[in-house]
Amino acid sequence: MKKYDVIILGAGPAGLTAGIYLSRARQSVLILDKGTVGGQVILTHAVANYPGLPELSGYKLASEMKKQAADFGCDILGNTSIKDFNFKGEEKVVITDSGEYSSRAVILAVGGQPRKLGLESEEKFQGRGISYCATCDGDFFTDQDIVVVGGGNSALEEAVSLTTYARSVTIIHQFDHFQGYPHAIKAAGDNPKIRFMMESEILEFTGDTDLTGVRILNKRDGSEQQLAVTGAFIFIGYQPGSKLFENCVRLNQRGEILVDEMMATDVPGVFAAGDVRQKKFRQITTAVSDGTTAALGVMDYLVGPDPDKE
């Protein structure tokens, strides 16, 4: 069993940032990820709002983060499945399909993902017209016709925000009423750029390389229609990647990990950062911030707080 000071589960922006901070603090760090190193950000076609950097692809940004973490000494393993773990004692144990590892502290940065419609065509146009983040991608759809899928507060509020850029926004919702707060419903209803298609659902996203339209079913009468759009924003919920740890650390009703201001969970030596924790905003920059805080919290746990900063 190979021993480290810290094991980080998840190699997205939160996990890689924590690894950078901890390895620079002379801690031995292992970063594990069940998929490709970089997390959800690698699916982003272009990142234009990361402070201090010109517009670049999500893949490029993630690659630079990975290189920086590796250069500072982190061991990084992608495409690695967790078979078992034990976080109860002072020594935390993680068993994977590539080996067994132990550490004095663990950071859960396993992220999550927006809930998807589950259509085959959805995967084809992800990052090529389909987005799950208005803040990230809204300005790429300036003067274009787009749809928003969903009927809760996120869908309504993001639809309003997208009218800053888009020529028109059509909200498609499967029910005959919205689940959002009254003020959110009113704001969307009062916006002249927004129209509604209630009791409707998307059957298919269409286009060649990029999205050019959606095929929509009217659930009231069974009729179908084709709507020409170049963008689709889907806001039907979020799925944190916490299921594996639901009997280990405390979660809220949405399955998000609960932490304190230092990103510590209710289990000593176990921290959480990024989109898997309870939070309102999910951006690359907020994940990086979480990773920084979690790393500093781990340092306090391992060596004690810095007396100069007390």
Q: Which residues are catalytic?
A: 133, 136-137
- Pairing state between β 75-77 and 29-32: parallel
- State the SS3 of 229-248: CCEEEECCCEEECCHHHCCC
Specify whether the CB–CB gap between 130 and 31 falls below 8 A.
no
Specify whether the CB–CB gap between 198 and 175 falls below 8 A.
yes
Written as six digits, the tokens of 204 are 């298919």
Specify whether the CB–CB gap between 210 and 219 falls below 8 A.
no
Q: In 3-state terms, what secondary structure has residue 75? A: strand
Give the C-alpha distances (Å, rounded to integers) separating 141 from 138, 163, 229, 230, 270: 6, 10, 10, 8, 41
Helix (H) or strand (E) holding 61: helix 58-71
